[in-house]
Amino acid sequence: MPMMMPLTKMITASLLIALASTQAAAQDTPDDGPSLDAIVDAWLASPHASRSSEAFTHWHEEGEIPGTCAVCHSSTGAVDYLLGEMTQPGVIDHAVPTGTSVDCVVCHTSAASSLAIVPFPSGETVDTFEESAVCTVCHQGRTSTFDVESAVAGLEDDVIAGDLSFINIHYAPSAATLMGTAVRGGYEYDGKVYKGQFTHVPDMNGCVDCHRPHSLEVQLDNCTACHQGVTSFTDIRTTTTDFDGDGDTTVGISVPINALHARLETAIQSYGMDIAGTPIVYNVGSYPYFFIDSDADGIASDDESIYPNRYQSWTPRLLKAAYNYQVVAKDTGIYTHNPHYALQLLYDSLESLSEQVDVDMTGLVRP
């Protein structure tokens, strides 16, 4: 008697077989492509299938996922959104049951394959993603320049406002950073010019040109024909400009981005201590990310990284810089998606803080 396929794989395989009869598959494979088993295995190993992760279990006690979260944290919500009018980016007007992940049906439907125009939190729409449009529905962040501007409107730059709180772009906002100033995912300072959509070589501008469509793994071998000798995406650099002033332009563009990011964290801490009057510390893995640094040691301990200890001494200037710090932190591939946009956000945030605290801008170059 043949061994039975695990239940999860049976359900997924049945779904794929049914979907294959339609012309809706946004990521259909050719006849000589991977087998159905290989596709299922790749998806099961991906974050999209990880039903036990926080991304899909966060609402288990409530038993339902609110419409503000359901689009990206359940297949039911995603399908409902794609079939609807998409009047509010990433939001539907009803809750959905828990228990799903990002299943095959999200991308392999007529609604996904015909999706051409994607709304972003800034109010802008983008029609250049083509077959990758469905990916950008969830990987666009939840906020923009305008959310920050609205929060600080009418307030003095360096005066603590008790009703201000940290504004979080949310996770993996790669489509927003890729589009740059076209959708204004980062906080863009007045009077500055910002990089637009990061474009690459032909046939290498969509999500699935770099990410395998089911496992989501990045494909470095697609890049090494031009970027010879690199062993990691972090090694890639296409400019000889010394952005961080260290004199080394042979390293990947990720290095100066990380250098300015670290320098911005230091500047934020200096501003918190010297101007806001309350030490501030960041923890990338704990909401709402910025906390009171009770012992002023610059390290977010477990005891400090709790919601009741959240940072609340926000001024408009500090909020803007912290927002951009989070944008770069949450798009872990920003050095690939739009490196110059990242450097511009970091440089401008440092420049702004330098008006109030000592920030060494020596040698820094804005793209």
Q: What is the DSSP string of 116-175?
A: --EE-TTS-EE---GGGHHHHTTTT-S--HHHHHHHHTT--TTS--TT-------S--HH
Cα 26-201-123 angle, rounded to 5 deg: 60
Tokens of 234: 């972090």
Tokens of 117: 């125009």
Residues 283-322 have pLDDT tens digits of 999 999 999 999 999 999 999 999 999 999 999 999 999 9
Q: Is the predicted pLDDT of residue 363 greater than 70, yes or no? A: yes
Cα 133-340-117 angle, rounded to 5 deg: 15
Mean pLDDT value of segment 132-138:
95
Residues 344-360 have pLDDT tens digits of 999 999 999 999 999 99
**Partners of 357 in the β-ladder:** none
Which residue type is seen at 365?
V
Mean pLDDT value of segment 215-238:
86
**Torsion angle defined by CA atoms of residues 27, 31, 33 and 36, in that order, rounded to the nearest 10 degrees:** 80
Q: Break the chain down into helix, strand, coil percent, rounded to 5.
A: 40, 5, 55
CA–CA gap between residue 171 and residue 331 (Å, rounded): 7
Residues of the chain with pLDDT > 90: what percent?
Answer: 79
Q: Is the predicted pLDDT of residue 80 greater than 90, yes or no? A: yes
Q: Is the predicted pLDDT of residue 281 greater than 80, yes or no? A: yes
- This prediction has a pTM of 0.91
Helices (H) and strands (E) in the chain, counts: 15, 6
pLDDT at position 2, please? 39
Average pLDDT over the chain reads: 90
CA–CA gap between residue 301 and residue 282 (Å, rounded): 10
Cα dist from 343 to 49, 64, 69, 243, whole Å: 33, 40, 30, 8
